[in-house]
């Protein structure tokens, strides 16, 4: 991982602006300035240590030349010993400063786009566009959990007995619908030049520290226990599909002609939802275990805006083909993820709740991840540069099922299957 503190000096104003506009509490007072000060201290201390090493080499050379001068040799031995003690003390000081700098560097958020709306939370997000008409239903639309229980499609009671809250057994035709959504979204996004991939479901701690802002995110992760006793590295279950998709390129240099790299992954994901206490406690909207498809792009910096918009459009096509009303919002500075330069969300309309709910997030993380995971590309001249990483939801499977149950619910309680999914399931209603 690259903790290049010159980056902090070069982006001082942008980083201070980001901390202010994200409305986050700094880990210490003036963290950016402290990093700049640490950078200068470390440089000076290293220069002093190098000078001491040079002096030691001079003394050692004199020692070898004065073979017969016993008094001089003893004096030189004492000088070398003192010199080595000074170097050791200085290296310990440098190590202490470097440790502090590393912790502060990992805490830093990404810089934030000046195009991002200024605001503290999702109430300040700005609608960019919307699709579909909100119908005036002549019957009361049942929420997904009541309808799912009534039809024997969702069983949260058994899951609570076996595993705990925020888990569910999905049953019957809803299983086929879930698998159909995975296949359909993978097929659709793959047709846009994205390579399908199924990733591992665990990530090592040091890798997760590069791909996520652990200071604010670790509480949401499930740690795998017991493996340290077997001499294995600490690991966490993945909290979203994009993390292992990007992490596979750690410490890699990619040739420019191989860019962009475009992947679409499918996996289960696991999250404590520690920050969502009391929210969406019933049903399958906010779960500890969920399925999703996800897009990622690795590209040159100048291409990132284009691919950011492309990923959003890919998924808009899916929601249009599902014929479910949605809107795209530009996330405010306070609602964006700490690692995001710019973020869009897609929100689907849920008739049972009479409001839009988030069903996708699309992030341009610029070089925030690549600096931490040391992911670079080599241009035609052989020069190496940090590439940009982007991620965007394909479909959050459970939330999409909820949107289908709302949108396609009939007065008699049956659920029509969207036309685009019928070829995957072989039936037209549930």
Binding residue positions: 240, 271-273, 294, 358-361
Nearest to 336 by CA among 366, 316, 356, 307: 366
Binding residue positions for L-serine: 240, 271, 294
Q: How far apart are CA 409 and CA 281, in angstroms?
A: 22
Nearest to 203 by CA among 166, 173, 240: 240
Q: Tens digits of per-residue pLDDT, 31-86?
A: 999 999 998 999 999 888 888 787 766 666 666 656 555 555 666 677 777 878 88
| C-beta separation of 131 from 325 below 8 A | yes
pLDDT average, residue stretch 160-167: 92
Please report the pLDDT score of residue 227 as a whole number. Answer: 73
Please report the pLDDT score of residue 64 as a whole number. Answer: 61
Q: Which of the pair, 62 or 90, is modelled with greater confidence?
A: 90
Nearest to 337 by CA among 117, 30, 112, 128: 112
Q: How far apart are CA 94 and CA 45, in angstroms?
A: 7
pLDDT average, residue stretch 8-16: 92
Q: Tens digits of per-residue pLDDT, 318-356?
A: 999 999 999 999 999 999 999 999 999 999 999 999 999
Q: Tens digits of per-residue pLDDT, 369-417?
A: 999 999 999 999 999 999 999 999 999 999 999 999 999 999 999 999 9
Q: How far apart are CA 178 and CA 293, in angstroms?
A: 11
173-206 residues labelled b (16+ CB within 10 A) or e (exposed): bbebbbebbbbbbbebbeeeebeebebebebeee
Model confidence at 104: pLDDT above 80: yes
The residue extents of the domains of the chain are 6-107, 122-425
Q: Give yes or no on whether 6-107 and 122-425 have one common fold.
A: no
pLDDT average, residue stretch 216-221: 88
Q: How far apart are CA 14 and CA 96, in angstroms?
A: 27
Ranking 108-117, 218-227, 392-401 by mean pLDDT, the lowest is: 218-227
Please report the pLDDT score of residue 90 as a whole number. Answer: 86
Reported pTM:
0.89
Rounded to 5 degrees, φ, ψ at 117 are -60, 140
Which CATH number applies to 6-107: 1.20.1690, 2.60.120, 1.10.287, 1.10.10?
1.10.287
Please report the pLDDT score of residue 26 as a whole number. Answer: 85
Report the chain's mean pLDDT, rounded to a whole number. Answer: 91
The C-alpha angle 121, 126, 127, rounded to 5 degrees, equals 130
Please report the pLDDT score of residue 232 as a whole number. Answer: 79
Please report the pLDDT score of residue 299 as a whole number. Answer: 98
Q: Give the CATH H-level superfamily of domain 122-425.
A: Bira Bifunctional Protein; Domain 2 (3.30.930.10)
Binding residue positions for ATP: 271-273, 358-361
Ranking 91-100, 150-159, 278-287 by mean pLDDT, the lowest is: 278-287
């Amino acid at each position: 991982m690259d903790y290049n503190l010159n980056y902090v000096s070069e982006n001082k104003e942008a980083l201070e602006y980001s901390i202010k506009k994200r409305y986050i509490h700094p880990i210490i007072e003036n963290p950016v300035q402290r990093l700049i000060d640490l950078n200068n201290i470390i440089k000076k201390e290293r220069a002093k240590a190098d000078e001491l090493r040079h002096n030691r080499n001079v003394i050692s050379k004199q020692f070898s030349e004065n073979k017969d001068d016993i008094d001089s040799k003893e004096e030189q031995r004492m000088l070398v010993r003192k010199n080595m003690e000074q170097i050791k003390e200085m290296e310990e000081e440098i190590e202490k400063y470097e440790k502090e700098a590393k912790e502060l560097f990992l805490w830093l958020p990404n810089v934030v786009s000046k195009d991002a709306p200024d605001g503290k939370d999702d109430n300040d997000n700005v609608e960019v566009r919307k699709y579909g008409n909100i119908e005036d239903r002549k019957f009361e639309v049942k929420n997904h959990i009541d309808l799912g229980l009534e039809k024997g499609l969702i069983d949260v009671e058994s899951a609570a007995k076996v595993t705990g809250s925020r888990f569910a057994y999905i049953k019957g035709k809803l299983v086929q619908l879930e698998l159909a959504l995975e296949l359909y979204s993978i097929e659709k996004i793959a047709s846009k030049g994205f390579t399908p991939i199924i990733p591992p479901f665990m990530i090592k701690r040091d890798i997760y520290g590069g791909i996520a802002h652990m200071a604010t995110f670790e509480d949401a992760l499930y740690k795998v226990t017991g493996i340290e006793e077997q001499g294995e590295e600490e690991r966490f279950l993945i909290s979203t599909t994009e993390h292992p998709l990007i992490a596979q390129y750690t410490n890699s240099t990619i040739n420019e002609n191989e860019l962009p790299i475009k992947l679409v992954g499918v996996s289960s994901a696991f999250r404590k939802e520690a920050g969502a206490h009391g929210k969406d406690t019933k049903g399958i909207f906010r779960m500890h275990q969920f399925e999703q498809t996800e897009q990622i792009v690795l590209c040159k910096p100048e291409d990132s805006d284009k691919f950011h918009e492309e990923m959003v459009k890919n998924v808009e096509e899916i929601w249009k083909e599902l014929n479910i009303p949605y809107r795209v919002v530009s996330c405010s500075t306070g609602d964006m993820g700490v690692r995001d330069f710019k973020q869009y969300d897609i929100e689907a309309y849920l008739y049972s709740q009479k409001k839009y709910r988030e069903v996708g997030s699309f992030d341009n993380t610029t070089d925030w991840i690549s600096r931490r995971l040391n992911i670079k590309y080599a241009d035609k001249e052989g020069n190496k540069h940090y590439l940009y990483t982007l991620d965007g939801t394909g479909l959050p499977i459970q939330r999409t099922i909820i949107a289908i149950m709302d949108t396609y619910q009939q007065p008699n309680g049956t659920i029509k299957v969207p036309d685009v999914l019928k070829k995957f399931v072989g039936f037209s209603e549930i």
